[in-house]
């Protein structure tokens, strides 16, 4: 099975990493599909986000990190995938993800969305929370993978 885990990942958190590593157990190949989100102001460029996540998964042959633009279902066709992997932390996530799952299926009826709940340690964690803590000089070292932590320290020019 080939899965696609899409998101803006700004930045990639340990919650994202938890979903990726668990999904990789049942996917022969898992694409982390990094996208621009026109509704968000990004801290990191698309290229920087891809680079950081690639560093996290260097040496792992079944996890591929790429950027994409356009419709997710079109990207999935190029990867011969029918499975979208999405993480759910709260009811508010479910409402949005439920709408997106039906929208994607309305475009391509072969698409299935697989919802995964992160480890309980990460239920509170979001990229927004990480950016807010880092901006305010809080410690995010236990919230993001090492390559992301280093980039956050560089970006905010202080120990966080």
Q: Which residues are catalytic?
A: 16, 40, 89, 127
Rounded to an integer, what distance in angstroms lies between the CA atom of residue 158 and that of residue 133? 12
**Contacts by residues 146-155 (CB-CB < 8 Å, ≥ 24 positions apart):** 147/52, 147/55, 147/56, 148/11, 148/12, 148/13, 148/52, 148/56, 151/11, 151/44, 151/48, 151/52, 152/11, 155/43, 155/44
- Look-up: residue for tokens 């239920």? 123
Task: Report how far apart the first and last C-alpha atoms of the chain are (Å, whole number).
Answer: 39
Return the half-sphere exposure (C-beta side, CA atoms, 13 A cut-off) of residue 55: 15
């Amino acid at each position: 099975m080939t899965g696609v885990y899409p998101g803006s990942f700004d930045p990639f958190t340990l919650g994202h990493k938890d979903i990726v590593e668990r999904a990789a157990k049942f996917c022969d190949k898992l694409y982390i599909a990094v996208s621009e989100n026109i509704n968000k102001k990004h801290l990191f460029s698309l290229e920087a986000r891809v680079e950081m996540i690639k560093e996290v998964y260097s040496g792992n042959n079944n996890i591929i990190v790429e950027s994409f633009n356009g419709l997710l279902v079109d990207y999935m066709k190029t990867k011969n995938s029918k499975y979208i992997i999405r993480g759910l932390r709260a009811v508010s996530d479910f409402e949005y993800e439920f709408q997106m799952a039906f929208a994607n299926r309305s475009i391509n009826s072969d698409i299935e969305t697989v919802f995964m709940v992160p480890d309980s340690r990460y239920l509170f964690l979001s990229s927004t929370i990480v950016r807010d803590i880092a901006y305010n000089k809080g410690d995010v070292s236990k919230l993001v993978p090492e390559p992301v932590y280093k980039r956050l320290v560089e970006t905010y020019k202080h120990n966080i």
